[in-house]
Each structure stands twice: as structure tokens, then as C-alpha cells.
Structure 1
Amino acid sequence: MNIEKEIPYVKISYNPVMDFFKKFFIGDFKANNLIIISPIITGLVNTRFSIERLKNRIENDKIFTYIITREPKEDYHKQAIDILKNSDFVEIRYNNSLHAKLYICALDEPIFAILGSGNLTRTSIEKNIEIGMLIFPQDKGKQILHELYYWG
């Protein structure tokens, strides 16, 4: 079964975090909302899309960004959060029970979301075997995006 032919609003991703960043940075749209839900966040140093670059894009485009993560205990997590919280457009909430990973990009309505296994870490991008679903606002995908958006 080719899921993309059967369900045109879903695409399977084997590198969900990288696919999110590619669509966010290279996509032909300007988002005004971003939701990032990841228990662990690192600086993504020496990767194509670092947390510093993400913060700069958020500030340059004035993208309201809502981040849910666990309370940082490790230095790498604290450093990434310190970078992000220095933006007036980023709001960070902590939930130590968090295990979900969800990334949503929106204008007035959600443009796309990725729901999957990948934390916002370099290891997730470069080493781990991950899987995720990109969801687009066609057909039933629009309803799914709204559910995820309001959950986030």
C-alpha cells in the first residue's frame, strides 16, 4: 500500500525533525505560529538548522512560538532553552510527564504538522531511527491538524 496515494494528506517521514526544519526554513510560506512539543531539546550545533538559527527566524519573522518540554536537567537542554527564552516571541512551558513529539507550523490555520518519535536533538536528526507523519490540510488532514493544534 502506498499511503501517500491512498491518504494524500499524510506523508511518512523517516527523519521527522529534519523534514520539519526543511519545510519551515525552505517552504514558500511565512508562518505566524509555531508549536514545538519535545521532551528534550538541544542546540543542534553543527547541523544545518541550529536552535540559534531557529530563534533568529522566529525573531525576524515575528513568529509566536509555543514550546512544551521537560524541565531541563542536562546542560545541553538548559543551553538550548536559554537560547530560545531570550526571544520575546517564545513562550516555554514545562511538563515533566511529557513524552509526545509534535511540531506544528501555522498561519491563521495550521499549514502542516509532524507527529512522531523525534526529539528536537542532533541525535534524532543524525543517528536515531525515527518515524513520523507529516500531516497537511487537505481532506481529513485539516480536521487532524486542528485537533493537534488545539492539543498543543
Structure 2
Amino acid sequence: MPTGIFYLIYTSIASGLMSDQDLLFLLDQSRQNNTLLGLTGMLLYMEGRFITKTEGRFIQFLEGEEEQVLAMYSSICSDKRNKSILLLGAGFWLERSFPSWSMGFSPLNTDQYKNVANFFHLDDDTSLTRHLSDANEMANFLHSFYLINADAKGNEL
């Protein structure tokens, strides 16, 4: 049986553009649920023009006990706010990457995330496919964003 902390990374397209109020509600809901389930992680939402239309994209890293993470992922897959969900990676780490975040969240634009270490295009299927085989690279991208945005005490965004 594997040891350590289970993680899962996915990306999805938002069913519709999300307002700041929608995102704050999602963040509050995620923090409450994740605290109860012992989950930590990060959710990035990016809004922009992708291919032919303006839409929102999510990328999320969840970590915790395997059963809890998989249950949350199943719930996310059933959530009508998401479509075209793509599992990017899952496995075990020795320790949590986001130990103090019941859920960190940040809206971002492409100019912001291009400067983050281990950057890759969330809207490019070729780039995502290339990263499917390297969950560490995707996790490092999100962790770099976390380190840039967390304050010295590790508080949530």
C-alpha cells in the first residue's frame, strides 16, 4: 500500500464565465468542505480568449487522504460549473505541498502566470498532453504560484 499524501491535479472549462461573487462563493464553499475532509490545495481560475471564444478555465491541485480526494474529485466531476474535465495527474507525495491552505484561490490572467516557474499553457491541448506524463512539473507550477502569493505566515490568498 502506498504511503504519504495523495494528490490529484485536473483542469476543466467553466460552464460559464464566473463573476467575482461566483468565485468568492466557490472559494468559501471549498474551504468549508475541504476543512471537514482534511483536504488542502489550490484552485486557479483564468478567464481569457481561448481558441475561438472567451471562457474560464480551472486548474486545481487537491491533496489529502486518497479516499477523501477521490470523493471530492467525483463531486467536482458532477458539478455543473465544470465541463471538459481532464485529469492531469494523481499519486502520492511524502508530504503536503499546501499544508496551511484549506483552499488557496487566485484569479489570474496570462501575463501573470507566464512569469511563474514551470509555466505551461492551460488552454493548449498539446501543452497539457505533454504535461500529463509529468505531474511533478504541474505540481511545481502550482507550488511556485503558491509561494509567490502566500505571505510569510503561509496564509491563504
Same fold? TM cut 0.5:
no
TM-score (normalised: structure 1)? 0.28
More strand by share: 2
